[in-house]
Amino acid sequence: MATIIERIAFGFVPPAAPTPALDTFDYDAAHAEGWTLSNLGRYQDRTPHIELQRLDRRKAADGGFSSDRDAWTHVVKRAREGSLLHLAALSLIDRRERLVITAHCGPW
């Protein structure tokens, strides 16, 4: 077990506890479209680190996305059309990810 000094010095942040909404999110539907939500633990300030990413195992030639930005554009477009899956995904991402996606795609 790391001491408090080691935790501060080395930026140790314990893994995040599962978020209930993330546990019930329809990953199968997202994966079928070529994207996913990734729970990357917590930032140094202890806030959740949840990103919307392209599904790496699904290549663009197979109907996947060539970049995370392409996946963001798709998810935001579908959210604007009223898709509950896509609106749910955008409600679950962390505030930093939300700012980056909004800067790239505009509001939804």
Residuewise pLDDT in 10s, the chain (108 residues): 555 555 544 555 555 555 558 889 999 999 999 999 999 999 999 999 999 999 987 665 566 899 999 999 999 999 999 999 999 999 999 999 999 999 999 999
Output the pTM of the full model: 0.78
For the chain, the straight-line distance linking the first and the last C-alpha, in angstroms and rounded, comes to 43
87's tokens = 């609106």
Cα 50 to the chain's mean position, in Å? 4
Three-state DSSP state, 23? helix
83 vs 86: CA distance, rounded Å:
5
65's tokens = 């996305």
